[in-house]
Homo-oligomer: A and B are copies of this chain.
Amino acid sequence: MTGRPLNGGAALDGDDDAHFLASYDASVFERPSVAVDVALLTASGGELFTLLVRRRDRPQAGRWALPGTFVGLAEPLEAAAARALEKKAGLAGVFVEQLYTFGAPGRDPRTRVISVAHYALVDPARFVEAARGGEGVATFKISVPWGGEAGGPVRAVDEGGCVHALAFDHADILGAAVKRLRGKLNYAPVGFELLGDSFTLLELQRVHEAVLGRPLNKDSFRRRMLASGLLEPTGQSETGVGHRPASLYRFGGAVAP
């Protein structure tokens, strides 16, 4: 390994940098536009759903698209994603995380638009409320045509079972969100974002099954979750279910004994 590092690597910037910055002309280079798009996901009945917005403006007016917006010049990316979610779906304070940046030169026919895609997770109750909120907003079931972590675009299916072609590369963004979620289930406490404050083990299992797209072994899932130390019994149980009620749990983040 050949290396010629500086001795000490001391910071060389100071007042000189300040002078330089004062005279810096930011308009020298032509720039692409930067946007964010948000794949909002929820799980219900062992299926994944997303919220789409009908485009009113060109291009691709009339198509269904992810909530999105252009990024403000001094706005953090996550803030832009949260703003898009707030404006288009009326949702605030939900889990949002960066996903992948889609930047193929031809993905938007207007001009070069680089989209920093995010995904967001909410429980079904908040999701339904958000989907009822605005005009031009609708819920779509996500149909994943690939298994495991293969990846690729997914299909958006409306209530009538009709598949819709989405705007731009938004089917790929949704596919990336599902893939990320599947990968994360293996090692991270995902899934709790998709549930309410308290939940039964079976409800948690249904969420995992919705994300993974395959049934899970009940006993093994129970043991694994209870052994993970992430669950905390509330002491309460379901009521009115026509059979033995299940214990309710909440997410109890790694409390040391």
Q: Give A contacts to B, CB under 8 Å.
A: 1-9, 11-13, 16-17, 20-21, 24, 26, 29-34, 44, 49, 54, 58-64, 70-71, 73-77, 98, 100-101, 103-105, 109-112, 114, 116, 124, 127-128, 131-132, 137-140, 149, 158-160, 162-165, 183, 186-187
> Known contacts A34-B31, A105-B76: does B60 contact A5 (CB below 8 Å)?
no
| A77 and B58 form a contact (CB under 8 A) | no
Given contacts A4-B137, A17-B59, A34-B114, 6 further A-B contacts (CB under 8 A): A1-B159, A12-B61, A13-B60, A26-B110, A26-B111, A31-B73
The interface residues of chain B lying within 8 Å CB-to-CB of A127 are 1
Number of identical protomers: 2
> Known contacts A26-B110, A139-B1: does B105 contact A61 (CB below 8 Å)?
no
| Interface class of chain A by DSSP | loop
A132 CB to closest chain B CB, in angstroms?
Answer: 5
Cα(A188)–Cα(B147), bound, Å: 15
The interface residues of chain B lying within 8 Å CB-to-CB of A158 are 3, 5, 9
Cα(A76)–Cα(B26), bound, Å: 22
> Known contacts A59-B21, A114-B77: does B98 contact A101 (CB below 8 Å)?
yes
